[in-house]
Amino acid sequence: MSELYFCIDFVNPGQVIAALGLFELASRLQSTVEGHFNFHSRTFILSNAGSLEPSTLLTQLCQSRLDEDQVQKGVLLLSEPFNLRLDWWQGRDEDEAVPKTWAGRQDVRRVAHAAQYALYRVVTKPDFRPEQLFTYSHPLTDNSNDKEKLVAPFYFDAFVSRIHSRDVGFSLDQHDIKVVPSPATELLCLVGLQRFRPRPDNGRYAYCLWDQPLGPVVASAVFNACLRLPDGGRCFNFALRYRDDQRRYKAFGYAKSTY
C-alpha cells in the first residue's frame, strides 16, 4: 500500500496535529514516507508508505511501552519500534509558546496510557475503517486496577472541547462527568506536538498546511510558518479555551482560516 488516506477537519487543530503525529510515527518505520493535505477531499495523505498498513502501525503504537524517563521527571519515552522522547510540555505553565492544556497536577502518562487502551479497542473492531480514524470516540479509562475509572482527556480535540465550563456552568473535570473523546486525536496529538508545534501568534496559535508531498523535517518548518512554499497553502489560527473559572484547565478551540 503506497498511499494512506485519513479524513481531517482542517479547522480542528487537534485532528490536524494528530495526523502529523501519525506521520511522525510512520516516518520512523518507513524512512521514505511523505505527507501532505488534499484541500479538495479534506484528507491527509501519507505517500511512499511502501507496505505500511495503518492498522498495523496503530496496533504497534497501542502495544508500545510508554514509560516515564527515570532521569527527568515528567518526560515520556515511547519504546520500540518508534523510540521517541516526548517532552514538549516541559517548562513553566505560563509559557505561551507551549500549547499545554492541563494543570501541573495532571498525570500525563496516565492519560496517555488510557488513550492507548481506548485506541486499541477502536482499532481492533471488526468494522474499523482507518480513513475514519479521527471520528471514532471511546471513553478513556484507567485500567491499572480491577475497577475501571474514567480519565479526563487532554482536550486536544476541538469537537469535544467545545463543551467546557463556560457552556455548562462548571468544570466537567471536577464533577466526574463523562466526556467521550477521540483516543486517536488525544494520543497522536500528544505525539505530533513533539515536532509539529503551532506558532504563537498574538495570544493565539498559527499553523499552515501544504498540498505537496514533504518529508517530516521540511513539513514541520512549513507547519509553523518558518518556511513558505512557492505554491502557497492554507493557514489557520486558534486559541486555547478555558474550562474552569480559575483558568487552570484549557482546551484546543476551533481554528479560523487566515488565508
**Per-domain residue ranges for the chain?**
4-257
Give me the pLDDT at residue 71, please. 82
Q: Which of 211, 196, 150, 149 is nearest to 27 (CA)?
A: 196
What pLDDT, on the 0 to 100 scale, is given for residue 105?
A: 67
pLDDT exceeding 90 applies to what percent of the chain? 69
What pTM, to 2 d.p., does this model score? 0.91
Determine how β-strand 76-78 pairs with β-strand 84-86: antiparallel
Q: Confirm if 46 and 34 have CB atoms less than 8 A apart.
A: yes
Segment 18-58, tens digit of pLDDT: 999 999 999 999 999 999 999 999 999 999 988 999 999 99
Percent of the chain whose predicted confidence (pLDDT) is above 70: 89
The set of residues, in sequence order, having a beta carbon less than 8 Å from that of 147 and lying 6+ positions away, is none
pLDDT in tens, 108-138: 999 999 999 999 999 999 999 999 999 999 9
The answer to whether residue 94 scores a pLDDT higher than 70 is: no
Mean pLDDT, residues 83-107: 82
Task: Note the pLDDT tens digit of each residue in 138-157.
Answer: 999 987 766 678 898 999 99
The pLDDT, as a whole number, for residue 169 is 46
Q: Give the pLDDT of residue 168.
A: 46
Q: Which three cell numbers stand for residue 179?
A: 466526556
